[in-house]
Amino acid sequence: MLDERLPWPERRRRFRSWRRRRPFWAGLLLALAGAELLLVPLSPLTILVSLGLGGLAALGIGLALIAAALFLWFLPHTRHYVSVNALILSVLSFAATNLGGFLVGTLLGIAGSAMGFGWTPVTDPAASAAEPGTPEAKADPEPAEGERRAPTVREHQGPRTLAVALPLVLLVAVGAPAQRAAAAAAEPLAPRTPPTVTTTRFAPDGFLIAGVKEVRTVDGPLKVMVLRMRAASLTDYELRTRDGSDELSLGADSLDLSGNVTLYLTKFSGCLQGLLCLTFTPDGLPVPPVVPPFVYMTDVSAEQAMVTSDSIETTGLRLGAS
C-alpha cells in the first residue's frame, strides 16, 4: 500500500490523530488569510499598495488571524468564540486594509471562520483514527432485532451545515445596514430651503441621465430630481438664496461644470430647444431617463438643492446681498 511505502508512518499516524481532534483545516485557512494580509502591504507593488493606515491595519488583522488559527489548533474548545471574532476581522479587513488583500484574504478568513464555527468533535476518537483499508476501519455491526442503532457522525451533518451558514447570514445582516449607514454619512447635507438658479441657456455635454432620490437636510429627507452628465455650460448664471432674513445672490457671465456633474433639483423649468416650455418636478418627471447630448434649454429657472462636479470654471463672477 502507498501508505506503507511513504516515510515516517508513525509520525504521519500521530499527525492524523492530532489533526482529527481539532478544526485543522479551518485554522489552516485562517493562517493563510493572515499570511496573505501580511504579505500584500509588504510586497513590492508600491503603486497599488501603500503602507499607510491600510498597511498598518493589514499587519494587525493578519497577526490576529494567525493567532486565531493557533487557538483553533491548540485550544479547539474555544472555536466558537474565536471563529466569530475571526469572521468580524475578516469582514473588517475589506474596508480597513487594501480591499482585504485584494479580496483573497477576506474570502479565506470568512471560509476558515465558517469551518471553525461549524466543526464538531468526533465522539469516538478511536474509531475516527482508523483509516479506510486498515484493520481498525471495520463496518458497524448490524443492530440486533429490537435494538436501536447508535447514531453515527454522518447523521449529525445537519446542525453542522447550519453552523457553517450562520456566519454568512450574520455577514449579510450586519454588513448591509452598515454599508447603507456609511453611504448616508458620506453624503453631504442639502440646505433647508433650496436656492433659486436662473440661466438664459443650459447646455449639457454628453448624455443626460435623469432620476429621483432623497437627499439629507437638517429637517429630514428631501425628494429631488437627479440629473447626471459629463459636463454642462450655463450662460448668464445667477443663484439666489432664500434661507434667512437676508438674500444673497451669486452671478456669473458663464459657468462651466465638467467631470461627473450631478444636479439635485426640486424644480426645473425651461424651454426645450428654445421652443417647448416645460416644468419638471420629482413627483412627476415627464422626461425619458436618458436625454441626447444635443438637447439644450433656454430661460431656465430651477430650485437647486445641491450640485457636485469635479471642476467648475466661471467668468464675470459677482456677489451681492440685499
pLDDT of residue 108: 92
The one-letter amino acid at 288: P
Which residue is associated with the grid cell 485550544?
75
Confidence check: pLDDT of 207 > 80: no
pTM across the whole model:
0.43
What is the per-residue pLDDT for 248?
Answer: 81
pLDDT, position 28: 94
| pLDDT tens-digit series, residues 46-91 | 444 445 555 667 778 889 999 999 999 999 988 998 999 999 988 8
| Per-residue confidence (pLDDT) for residue 26, from 0 to 100 | 93
Q: Which among 317, 158, 161, 296 has a CA at the least distance from the CA of 236?
A: 317
The arithmetic mean of pLDDT across residues 270-294, rounded, is 71
Does the pLDDT value for residue 163 go beyond 90?
A: no
Looking at residue 151, its pLDDT comes to 45
Q: Is there a contact between 268 and 280 (Cβ–Cβ < 8 Å)?
A: yes
Other CB atoms within 10 Å distance of the CB of residue 202? 23
Query: Nearest to residue 277, comparing CAs of 293, 305, 300?
Result: 300
pLDDT, residue 206, reads 72
Q: CA 253, CA 314: separation in Å to the nearest integer?
A: 7
For residue 148, pLDDT beyond 60: no
Alpha-carbon span 320 to 322, nearest angstrom = 7
Residue 54: its pLDDT value, please? 59
Query: Given a cut of 70, is residue 152 above it in pLDDT?
Result: no
Burial environment of residue 144 by CB neighbours within 10 A (0 to 12, 13 to 18, 19 or more): exposed
pLDDT of 95 over the 90 cut: no
Residue 264, beta-bridge partner list: 226, 306
pLDDT at 223 over 70: yes
- 98-107: pLDDT as tens digits: 677 778 889 9
Distance CA 68, CA 107 (A): 16
What are 246-263's pLDDT values in tens digits?
778 888 999 999 888 888
DSSP bridge partners of 272:
276, 297
| Average confidence (pLDDT) over 275-289 | 71
Res 284: pLDDT: 66
> 295-314 pLDDT, tens per residue?
788 999 999 888 888 888 88
Average pLDDT, the chain: 75
Confidence of residue 3 (pLDDT cuts 50, 70, 90): low
User: Where is mean pLDDT largest: 145-149, 159-163, 212-216?
Assistant: 212-216
Which residues touch 200 (CB under 8 Å, ≥6 apart)? 235, 236, 298, 299, 300
Is 126's pLDDT higher than 80?
A: no
Closest CA to 206 of 253, 273, 258: 258
Instruction: Report how far apart, in Å, the C-alpha atoms of 97 and of each of 46, 154, 320 are.
Output: 15, 39, 48
pLDDT in tens, 179-201: 554 454 456 677 778 889 999 99
- Spatial distance between the Cα atoms of 3 and 116, rounded to a whole number of angstroms: 28
In the 3-class helix/strand/coil scheme, how is the chain assigned residue by residue?
CHHHHCCCHHHHHHHHHHHCCCCHHHHHHHHHHHHHHHHHHHCCCCCCCCCCHHHHHHHHHHHHHHHHHHHHHHCHHHHHHHHHHHHHHHHHHHHHCCHHHHCHHHHHHHHHHHHHHHCCCCCCHHHHCCCCCCCCCCCCCCCCCCCCCCCCHHHHHHHHHHHHHHHHHHHHHHHHHHHHHHHHHHCCCECCCCCEEEEEEEEEECCEEEEEEEEEECCEEEEEEEEEEEEEEEEEEEEECCCCCCCEEEEEEEEEEEEEEEEEEEEEEEEECCCEEEEEECCECCCCCEECCCCCEEEEEEEEEEEECCEEEEECCEEEEC
- CA-wise closest residue to 186 among 225, 213, 209, 216: 216
Instruction: Determine the Cα–Cα distance for residues 54 and 45; give it in Å rounded to an integer.
Output: 14
pLDDT in tens, 8-49: 778 888 888 898 899 999 999 999 999 988 876 665 544 444
